[in-house]
Amino acid sequence: MSAKEDPKTKTKVAPDFEEALKDESNLPRNVKRGQIIEGKIIKKTPTEVWINLGARSEGVILGKEVKEEKDFLINFSEGDEILVCVVQVENEHGQVVLSLKRAGMERRWKTLEEKNDTNETVKVRVSEFNRGGLIVDYSGIKGFLPISQISAERLGSNGESVDIRRSLEGLLRKELVVKVIELDRRENKLIFSEKAALGESAYPFDESILEKISKGDKVKGKVSRIVPFGVLVDLGGMEGLVHISEVSWDRLKKPTDVVDVGQEVQVLVIDKDEANRRIHLSIKRLAEDPWEKVSNKYQIGQEVDGYVTRIAPFGAFVRLEEGIDGLVYNTQLVESGREFHPGDSGKFKILSLDVPSKRMNLLPLA
């Protein structure tokens, strides 16, 4: 076969190369700054590490970082796959510059996912504590170790301590061996268990409890742990979840505004998933929705008393009574010439009222 002319470059293209160009895997990889890529080590020196990024693309980890990451790189040989981040698409030498450090977070998340899949332990360091348990650190990734998942020996006999706060405070900066029991990167949720690492059951489960409970039942339980997305309630043999949206009719920033670990609560069973052994609960549905009586108490044009609960980018939320908030938009704040801060009280006029959507627009009065 004779060579053909490339219309763009006006150069002759060999037939075999022309065919190769038709295969997208042979085309140079289009890398972007900040992109996390898994590549293969093709060459290691004391000052450079060359990475094959696939599709005839190569990148390099340069000098200073190679030295700083020496202890990490010693575990890798030529031909091994490694996670890197694109720092520069092209430097003054035409090289794609890569970083190990910037890919570190992704690499650590992957390690946690692998440990979760294989049920292996990891080491974490305690950085903070709150009423629900311990905030722990895994190489820069924050996770949560609930009180219910801490070894009973650390909290006293039978898992009860004379002073739980002191027990938790005593664990600050200590290293613990734990297992991952919940991981959701999208929700930034990472829950650990020391009990599981010691071979104990992380979650209590009693088949008979699941059989006895039906949707619509009102049952009593004890708050076993509090997590950012809700409250876990021990029903006497297994845990049910009260999602944060089901804790209170009020808009909550955190469940600890309403309940504490160890507190007894009455809950409503709103769903039961036998296949996945899950029970979904509600605390707020056992109390009357305050908006059901709004039409009888409030009307458009009415003057009301309230206080500012929080400031949002678009306006100020004003509490009229528990569970009933109205909004003063920024434009109305500017027109009124008043400046509000959380806790400020005053008189307001109801401009609009949408009960089905639970929305009320207010105007500050002088």
Calculate mean pLDDT across residues 319-324: 89
Q: How far apart are CA 268 and CA 215, in angstroms?
A: 8
The pLDDT assigned to 203 comes to: 60
The pair phi, psi for residue 15, each rounded to 5°, is -55, -40
The pLDDT value recorded for residue 122 is: 94
How many CB atoms are closer than 10 A to CB 304? 19
pTM comes to: 0.45
- Could you please state the CATH topology (level 3) that the domain comprising 207-286 is classified under: OB fold (Dihydrolipoamide Acetyltransferase, E2P) (2.40.50)
79 vs 228, higher pLDDT? 79
Q: What is the identity of the amino acid at 340?
A: F
pLDDT average, residue stretch 100-127 = 87
CA 5/CA 150 separation, integer angstroms: 72
Comparing CA positions, the residue from 161, 179, 182 lying closest to residue 170 is 161
pLDDT grade for 125, boundaries at 50, 70 and 90: very high
Distance separating alpha carbons of residues 322 and 249, to the nearest angstrom: 8
Give the pLDDT score at 11. Answer: 44
Q: Decide if domain 119-197 falls under CATH 2.40.50.140.
A: yes
Is the CB of residue 41 less than 8 Å from the CB of residue 79? yes
Residue 241 CA to residue 225 CA, distance in Å, equals 10
The per-residue pLDDT for range 192-218, each reduced to its tens digit, is 999 889 887 666 666 677 788 889 999
Residues 323-345, mean pLDDT to the nearest whole number? 88
- What Rg value do the Cα atoms of the chain yield, rounded? 29
17: pLDDT strictly greater than 50: no
- Write down the CATH number for the domain with range 31-103: 2.40.50.140
Instruction: Provide φ and ψ at 213, rounded to 5°.
Output: -85, 135
At the topology level, CATH places domain 290-364 in OB fold (Dihydrolipoamide Acetyltransferase, E2P) (2.40.50)
Please say whether the beta carbons of 89 and 31 come within 8 A: yes
Residue ranges of the chain assigned to CATH 2.40.50.140: 31-103, 119-197, 207-286, 290-364
In this structure, are residues 132 and 146 in contact, taking their beta carbons and an 8 Å threshold?
Answer: yes
Question: In the structure, what pLDDT confidence band is assigned to residue 28 with cuts at 50, 70 and 90?
Answer: very low
Q: What is the pLDDT of residues 54-105, one digit of tens each?
A: 766 789 999 888 888 888 888 888 999 888 889 888 888 778 899 888 888 8
Nearest to 130 by CA among 88, 164, 90, 104: 164
